[in-house]
Amino acid sequence: MTVLDDIIVGVREDLAMREADVPLEQMIEHATMRDPAIDPVPALVGPGISIISEVKRSSPSKGVLADIPEPGALAIEYQAGGAAAISVLTEKRRFGGSLADLDRVREKVAIPVLRKDFVVTEYQIYEARAHGADLVLLIVAALTDAELARFLTVTRELGMRALVEVHDEEEARRAAETGAEIIGVNARNLKTLDVDMSVFERLVGLLPDAAIKVAESGVSGPQDVLAYWRAGADAVLTGEALVKSGEPRQAVEQMIKIVSEA
């Protein structure tokens, strides 16, 4: 069993408990009662590089990264630093996240919010919207073609956007064929947790010209952001470097600045 497979087992177990508490029909009702989702596209296609800043407590590869007593306060710092969107990890077993974190961030910022989790059912998409998310993460490696197509449809019907994540050439092809509008290339292999930043440069040419291209993982500072931008990234999603920096606002500012001055 790969790391991804193991994570998904836990995700399904936790999901079953939440769905038993709030059935799908009720969650759909909650989702449709929310204010309209914020479109992240204008911020992601602006000049320079866009930063998707992540609220990330821990990870399977690094363990505990940072004590984040108030996710909303961290999100405010990210927004003040110029972040285009906030990513909130809601998987609890390996990443220490929760939907409560998503709620707190949504309450505090006016920019788009991404629910970053391992989406394996439609329920989670409605759940994301019910908690105020504007984007959801869809990991190609975790889904069949039929599931990916259906989940993209549900996302669009709710007025949301999807960050469709790929790790290799075959997944890049599958994402392109679904008409994905925002495609993330993750340098971290979710089966082994190894990181190879060259993956982005290898795959970016396979993505549709019109797609917004997001580089994920491997960022330790501004120089890595600059490298991704030079390789063709429109946006960079980063969490670890920010939560460990001690000065998240300044860290985001520096990542944006290094590209604007290049």
Catalytic (active-site) positions: 54, 56, 116, 165, 186, 216-217
Q: Give the Cα separation of 67 and 12 in Å (integer).
A: 26
Q: Which of 239, 211, 224, 246 is nearest to 85 (CA)?
A: 239
216-242: b (≥16 Cβ within 10 Å) or e: bbbbeebebbbbbbebebbbbbbbbbb
